[in-house]
């Protein structure tokens, strides 16, 4: 593995690096909900600590908790689930969507609430791969099937995952950057929240590619917590300090767009390659305009719709299996092809 030189790294990040190099792949490939689950569905409701009141009515209740609904990708997941619910056109399916607001303890509490309500299945996009693993196990141990969507938890807790392999996304992004800078130069890495499933996986993908490029030096490696403003501030400070940079590799588009703003403000657009992951609307617009160099398409609609469909099947006692949806590189040459793929059906 490539030895990273001159890394500016706080103590907390060093700890996260070791945990981030362990595999988070879900060993469970198939699960089934308890037999005898009732038939299905309804609409959306707020969480509550009361017990489920729909057992006698035959209603299927799906509890969902998403990382942070201030993030565009998470709102896309939510919207995709709601569209899929409408397509199912079954008044006996109810979807409860909670916002974890980026807080692992809040998300764990939401899972406890779902168990207390005796929901029929749970969908979770975990805030933290390690911290949420015990809470997911508690849900599974209560006899409730769990679908992890987009992100996963560490280890096999009995969950079934649907999403895009983050190592794959990291490899695609870093390989593009390596080629753009001619296999040598100085780069900065902006990560998501330390310990997040995507942060860990995408960084492993970066390491895999960097092992083949000994002349690429990582001179900065820090979290910007998926946030555009944090990323912009970090890059502003880097440039002000005189740090030489050939590329800034960001683990999501929000951070990439923030980094790009700082690069543009410093008059260095075209000198520094900036990339992201997710292919949100703003990123596609920027790539098409020739500003952001590239992003990696992650199919939020496919993941969200697939997660709800899997949850209903599991609630009905049907077997469900791990579902991987690959990343795709998006550059100025093919950006137009992706607009229809990030638009929720009306």
* 320 within a domain of the structure (yes/no): yes
Three-class SS of the chain:
CCCCCCCCCCHHHHHHHHHHCCCCCCCCCEEECCCCCCCCEEEEECCCCCCCCCCCCCCEEEEEEECCCCCHHHHHHHHHHHHHHHHHCCCCEEEEEEECCCCHHHHHHHHHHHHHHCCCEEEECCCCCCCCHHHHHHHHHCCCCEEEECCCCCCCCCCEEEECCHHHHHHHHHHHHHHHCCCCEEEEEEECCCCCHHHHHHHHHHHHHHCCCCCEEEEEEEECCCCHHHHHHHHHHHHHCCCCCCEEEECCHHHHHHHHHHHHHCCCECCEEEECCECCHHHHHHHHCCCCCEEEECCHHHHHHHHHHHHHHHHCCCEEECEECCCEEECCCCHHHHCCCCCCCC
Q: Are residues 177 and 284 in the same domain?
A: yes
- Note whether 75 and 69 are within 8 A (CB): yes
* 337 within a domain of the structure (yes/no): no
* 339 within a domain of the structure (yes/no): no
- Find the CATH number of the domain harbouring 254: 3.40.50.2300
Q: Are residues 201 and 312 in the same domain?
A: no
* 336 within a domain of the structure (yes/no): no
Q: Are residues 186 and 212 in the same domain?
A: yes
* 319 within a domain of the structure (yes/no): yes
* 346 within a domain of the structure (yes/no): no
* 92 within a domain of the structure (yes/no): yes
Q: Are residues 178 and 291 in the same domain?
A: yes
List the pLDDT tens digit at each of the 346 positions of the chain. 443 443 433 333 333 333 333 333 333 333 333 333 333 333 333 333 334 445 545 799 999 999 999 988 899 999 999 999 999 999 899 999 999 999 999 999 999 999 999 999 999 999 999 999 999 999 999 999 999 999 999 999 999 999 999 999 999 999 999 999 999 999 999 999 998 889 999 999 999 999 999 999 999 999 999 999 999 999 999 999 999 999 999 999 999 999 999 999 999 999 999 999 999 999 999 999 999 999 999 999 999 999 999 999 999 999 999 999 999 999 999 999 999 999 887 7
Residue 222 CA: distances (Å) to CA of 11, 115, 216, 346: 11, 36, 17, 39
Q: What angle is formed at CA 156 by the lines to CA 155 and CA 159, rounded to 5 degrees? A: 120
Q: Are residues 182 and 131 in the same domain?
A: no
Q: Are residues 293 and 305 in the same domain?
A: no
- Note whether 247 and 268 are within 8 A (CB): no
State the total domains in the chain.
Answer: 2
* 334 within a domain of the structure (yes/no): no
Q: Are residues 159 and 306 in the same domain?
A: yes
Q: Are residues 140 and 199 in the same domain?
A: no
Give the domain range for residue 191: 11-21+166-297
pTM, rounded to two decimals: 0.74
Q: Are residues 142 and 171 in the same domain?
A: no
Q: Are residues 157 and 170 in the same domain?
A: no
Q: Are residues 194 and 286 in the same domain?
A: yes
Q: Are residues 124 and 172 in the same domain?
A: no
């Amino acid at each position: 593995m490539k030895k990273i030189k001159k890394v500016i790294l706080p103590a907390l990040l060093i700890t996260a690096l070791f945990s981030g190099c362990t595999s988070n792949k879900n060993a469970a490939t198939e699960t089934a909900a308890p037999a005898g689950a009732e038939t299905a569905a309804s609409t959306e409701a707020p969480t509550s600590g009361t017990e489920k009141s729909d057992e006698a009515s035959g209603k299927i209740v799906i509890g969902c908790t998403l990382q942070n609904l201030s993030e565009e990708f998470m709102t896309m997941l939510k919207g995709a689930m709601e569209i899929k619910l409408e397509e199912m056109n079954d008044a006996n399916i109810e979807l409860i969507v909670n916002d974890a607001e980026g807080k692992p303890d809040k998300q764990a509490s939401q899972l406890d609430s779902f168990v207390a309500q005796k929901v029929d299945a749970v969908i979770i996009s975990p805030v933290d791969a390690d911290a949420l693993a015990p809470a997911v196990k508690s849900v599974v141990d209560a006899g409730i099937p769990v679908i992890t969507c987009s992100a996963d938890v560490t280890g096999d807790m009995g969950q079934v995952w649907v999403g895009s392999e983050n190592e794959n996304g990291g490899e695609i992004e870093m390989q593009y950057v390596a080629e753009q800078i001619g296999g040598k130069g100085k780069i900065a890495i902006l990560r998501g929240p330390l310990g997040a499933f995507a942060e860990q996986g995408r960084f492993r993908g970066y390491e895999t590619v960097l092992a083949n490029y000994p002349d690429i030096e990582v001179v900065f490696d820090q979290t910007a917590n998926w946030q555009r403003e944090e990323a912009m501030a970090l890059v502003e400070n880097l440039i002000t300090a005189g740090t030489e940079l050939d590329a800034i590799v960001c683990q999501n588009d929000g951070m990439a767009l923030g980094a790009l703003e700082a690069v543009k403000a410093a008059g260095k657009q075209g000198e520094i390659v900036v990339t992201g992951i997710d292919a949100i609307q703003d990123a596609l617009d920027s790539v098409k305009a020739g500003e952001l160099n590239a992003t990696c398409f992650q199919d939020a609609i496919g993941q969200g719709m697939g997660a709800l469909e899997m949850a209903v099947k599991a609630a009905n006692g049907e077997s469900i299996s791990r579902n991987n949806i690959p990343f795709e590189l998006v550059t100025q040459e093919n950006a137009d092809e992706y607009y229809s793929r990030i638009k929720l059906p009306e």
